[in-house]
Amino acid sequence: MAPSILYPDSADGPPGPLQDRRFATDLNLDQVFAAITKGREDLDLRPVFYTPLRRLDDVAYRHEVLADLRRPPILAALRDFGEAMRQTRLVLTTTRSLSNSWQRERHFVDAVAVYCDAVRSLASALPGLGPHSRAMGAVTGYLSGYCSSPGFAALADGAPEIVAALGAIRYSLHIKGNRVTINPYRGEPDYTSELAAVVARFTQDAATDYTAKFRSPLHMNSVEAQVLDLVARLNPGPFGAMHEYFDRHQGFVDPVVSALDRDSQFYLAYLDFIEPLRIAGLPFCYPVLSTSPGPVRAQGAFDIALAAAAAPGGAPARGVVTNDFDLSPAERMVVVTGPNNGGKTTFARTFGQIHYLASLGLPVPARAAELVLADGVFTSFQQAERLGTLRGHLEEELVHIHDIIQRATPRSVIVMNESFSSTTLRDAALLGRAVFAQLVERGSLCAFVTFVDELAAPNEATVSMSVTVHPDDPVLRTYKVVRKAPEGRAYAAALAERYGLTYGAVEEQVAK
């Protein structure tokens, strides 16, 4: 069975992707995944980031790989391999753009040589580095067998032989008027260096460059192409061997090696993305996961998208506030209340982000975490009304939430932000209670940001969390979300008193 560094049982293939990618937009993970995969678009890594894992062993499998990659020699070996494979793809792409068949075949040989060197280098390095993960152990064994196979030997040994044979070709070029003659080299004097010296005298200290600008040297003009064709006719042996090699080794990249190249970039791209955040002092951890209702907690969790924008290039992470949450196995609903612009939505996004990233088998933005291995992360955030649906804003929202409830399981994670804000306070409270009852019945884990304080009434399944403000100035937000009863009216009273808008103050002003 071909080894994979993403899935322990490659015969089963990857699990099916989430059907609804709306969660990524709502949680700003679409921005994160776009930034992670930037510069690696040719590898098509996006599907991997939208294919969460469902089994604990699958997550453990990736954690093992990441543990190997924390060892600098293994990380460097995979980076070198990835760079060589990128060069292979680049040369092959260039090869397909060339019009001259001999030139295409020659660049093809170069691509093969780079590929074979990359595979041999990694195959020779890994055994001495002693990777501990199941994945890298299987890859080490596979590469060893692949490099010792007759097929790889013919591929790897043939390329330098062809290069050497072509490099040994010598010919003479005779130009008279518009006639070019190619003859076998018979020991005639080589005037190349003398001509270069003569031309150099006219190019020194030139104030203005009047030389013509030609296309890339890779693209031959018609004269060069005809010269090459004539040289090939004079040397049928080396050129014929190259043509045969080209035909025989089409599709030379081994599927397992190709998958290793792509899949390793999944890990490397994420590690590259979070490294500046680590440098900025923000923590990442490998969460403890469970598939049954258990404690759900995190310490020092933060919004990874917000952090990436606030701390580019490892700059100090100013403005990034971390938060904690701690739920018992029975507590499944987190209701977040508090003043506007206080960090409620950021907290909810953080809650959803770390659960989803955990389901990819990746380090999550927190100091420590115990989480549910979600079988789906669903979101309901305020959306602009869509005229094409012929439904009102509230109806559209209810249809979407109904779909979430129908798909929800005890392992689902649901993030809802300011739901039912388009209706009255009374109706919002009524709808919120009905949704809560359905989700509690299903046992789903939910973070619910609301302006309806009544929904935060604590019970066995519901936990109230609220945004805090500065104790001496309610206008100043701390962006900390803590476990406590809602204080929306208290904030409003404090603000009214500060700005002279209490009933008594207004009445006094009116009397004047």
Q: SS3 string of 358-407?
A: HHCCCCECCCEEEEECCCEEEEECCCCCCHHHCCCHHHHHHHHHHHHHHH
- Binned at pLDDT 50, 70 and 90, residue 223 comes out as confident
Average pLDDT (41-54) is 93
Least confident of 37-41, 61-65, 151-155, 193-197: 193-197
Give the number of other Cβ atoms within 10 Å of residue 511's Cβ. 6
Question: What are 57-87's pLDDT values in tens digits?
Answer: 999 999 999 999 999 999 999 999 999 999 9
**pLDDT score of 7:** 94
3-state secondary structure 33-53: HHHHHCCCHHHCCHHHHCCCC
Average pLDDT (4-31) is 83
Q: Is 502 left (phi over 0), alpha (psi -120 to 50) or beta?
A: beta
Average pLDDT (19-24) is 83
**pLDDT score of 47:** 93
**Which has more pLDDT, 82 or 220?**
82
Q: Which of 109-123, 179-193, 196-210, 334-348 has the highest mean pLDDT?
A: 109-123
Residue closest to 264 by CA, chosen among 87, 111, 48 = 48
At 154 the three-state DSSP class reads helix
* Residue 347 clears pLDDT 70, i.e. is over it: yes
Determine contact, residues 108/97, Cβ cutoff 8 Å. no
CA atoms within 13 A on the CB side of 468: 11
CA distances in angstroms from 474 to 136, 319, 398, 494, listed in the order given:
54, 19, 34, 7
**pLDDT score of 387:** 47
* Residue 1 clears pLDDT 80, i.e. is over it: no
Average pLDDT (317-333) is 90
* Residue 318 clears pLDDT 90, i.e. is over it: no
CA distances in angstroms from 15 to 156, 403, 414, listed in the order given:
36, 21, 20
Average pLDDT (342-371) is 96
Instruction: Give dist(CA 287, CA 328) in Å, integer.
Output: 16
Instruction: Give dist(CA 498, CA 491) in Å, integer.
Output: 11
Instruction: Give dist(CA 462, CA 481) in Å, integer.
Output: 16
Instruction: Give dist(CA 209, CA 510) in Å, integer.
Output: 82
- Binned at pLDDT 50, 70 and 90, residue 474 comes out as low
What does the longest C-alpha to C-alpha distance in the chain come to?
115
41 exposure class (CB count in 10 Å sphere: 0-12, 13-18, 19+): exposed
Q: What is the mean pLDDT of the chain?
A: 87
* Residue 402 clears pLDDT 70, i.e. is over it: yes
Token look-up 């753009």 returns 97
**pLDDT score of 314:** 67
- Binned at pLDDT 50, 70 and 90, residue 412 comes out as very high
**pLDDT score of 33:** 97
Least confident of 149-153, 239-243, 374-378, 505-509: 505-509
**pLDDT score of 119:** 98
Sequence ranges of the chain with CATH classification 3.40.50.300: 280-511
**pLDDT score of 384:** 52
Quote the CATH superfamily of domain 280-511. P-loop containing nucleotide triphosphate hydrolases (3.40.50.300)
Pairing of strands 412-417, 376-380: parallel
Cα 72 to chain centroid distance, Å, stands at: 21
**pLDDT score of 214:** 43
Determine contact, residues 133/65, Cβ cutoff 8 Å. yes
**pLDDT score of 490:** 45
Token look-up 């935060």 returns 456
Question: What are 193-214's pLDDT values in tens digits?
Answer: 777 788 777 766 555 555 444 4
Q: What percent of the chain lies above the pLDDT cut of 90?
A: 62
Amino acid of residue 14: P
* Residue 241 clears pLDDT 60, i.e. is over it: yes
* Residue 309 clears pLDDT 60, i.e. is over it: yes
Instruction: Give dist(CA 28, CA 268) in Å, integer.
Output: 21
**pLDDT score of 192:** 74
Determine contact, residues 363/370, Cβ cutoff 8 Å. no
Token pair for 241: 């061997």
Q: What percent of the chain lies above the pLDDT cut of 70?
A: 88
H or E element in which residue 162 lies: helix 150-167
Q: Which residues contact 368 (CB under 8 A, 6 or more apart)?
A: 285, 297, 298, 299, 300
Q: What are phi and psi of 19, to 5 degrees?
A: -75, -30
**Which has more pLDDT, 36 or 507?**
36
